[in-house]
Amino acid sequence: MADIPVIANVPGVRSVPSTIATFDAGDFDPAELVAAKADQTVSVCLPARNEAPTVGAIVRSIREALVDRHPLVDEIVVVDDHSTDDTADVALAAGAKVVAAADVLAEYGKGHGKGAALWKSLAESTGDLVVWCDADLVDFDPRFVTGLVGPLLARRDIDFVKGFYDRPSAEAGGRGGRVTELVARPLLAVLFPHLSPIVQPLAGEYAGRRELLEQLPFVDGYGVDIALLIDIADEVGVDAIAQVDLGTRVHRNRSLDELSPQAVAVIQTALNRAGHRTATVATLHRPGLDTVEVELLERPPLASLAGRSPVRRGA
């Protein structure tokens, strides 16, 4: 990997009981990041399914602050994951490059899912550094992007950055949501204790270096967040992972009926990554509700696909 410019006065590591470097988003100045970026490129990707009420404001915020005012972000890519609302039109009008998930690498499956949308956004974007943010945020701040890309520009030894934040919701409770506290965090404590200090393992805001990300498989559904964390630690070591405090995050809260299939996907993924092979399809029976089948599927590493161009590398 080529040398990366180092920012002066890199924020110090906060008190976290591990080797995982932890930063604060407010410590990264956009102008300094632009200088440190040099001739590297940055893509911000937003997987979106029926997010017309929020995706436009997010795209405009990034474009105005980090494209027009400070030329840090080179492209904003929205992957429309089979939306039935005006998500694509709203995102396009706000200034994003919009691609339909069904049209990207269709030979590897057309089904929808968070992980599939992330994988397809990686395929459609071009940046040396890739930042992902959820498209359902109602209080988006450009610091989410600068906070995530900052450690990658500040530290040559960091390859992946995970966000965490306060969630001002009576149901969420503290820094983590219900699936995080009741499923993901206990699973990491038991199966992958070296990742236990990650504050929000299921956060949808993270960033990484393309040359690493294209070497990794992507779980199709909601298991993608914990899978990437586990796989990256295996690939480059936990010391190459950092986390950043993004402040406060407000998004659409989901009901328990929506969260229980997500919890199954997280359990499936973690157990399989730990070597405990489960059935490909788990059947979730819920009293008084429809039965849900949760299938564990993965998209192959992009670098393994025939005909893919070589991974771009920064200068």
Rounded distance, CA 107 to CA 38, Å? 36
How far the first Cα of the chain sits from its last, in Å, is 9
* Predicted confidence (pLDDT) at residue 33 exceeds the cutoff of 90: yes
Residue 174 belongs to a domain with what CATH number?
3.90.550.10
Global pTM value: 0.88
Higher pLDDT among residues 31 and 250, named by residue:
31
Q: Does 222 map to a domain? A: yes
Q: Does 48 map to a domain? A: yes
Q: What is the DSSP letter of 51?
A: -
The tens digit of pLDDT for each residue in 110-135 reads 667 899 999 999 999 999 999 999 99
Q: Does 43 map to a domain? A: yes
Q: What percent of the chain has pLDDT over 70?
A: 85
Report the pLDDT averaged over residues 237-256: 82
Report the pLDDT averaged over residues 141-155: 97
Q: Does 285 map to a domain? A: no
Number of domains composing the chain: 1
pLDDT at 168: 62
Q: Does 12 map to a domain? A: no
* Predicted confidence (pLDDT) at residue 11 exceeds the cutoff of 50: no
Q: Does 308 map to a domain? A: no
- C-alpha dist (Å) from residue 64 to 37, 60, 76, 141: 18, 6, 12, 11
Residue 51 contacts by C-beta under 8 Å, 6 or more apart in sequence?
A: 83, 85, 87, 135, 136
Q: Which domain holds residue 27?
A: 21-251
The tens digit of pLDDT for each residue in 154-180 reads 999 999 999 998 866 544 444 557 888
Report the pLDDT averaged over residues 46-51: 94
Q: Does 292 map to a domain? A: no
Q: Does 305 map to a domain? A: no
* Predicted confidence (pLDDT) at residue 72 exceeds the cutoff of 90: yes
Report the pLDDT averaged over residues 186-202: 95
* Predicted confidence (pLDDT) at residue 298 exceeds the cutoff of 60: yes
User: Is the distance from CB of 116 to CB of 215 less than 8 angstroms?
Assistant: no
Higher pLDDT among residues 2 and 197, named by residue:
197
C-alpha count within 13 angstroms, C-beta hemisphere, residue 47: 25
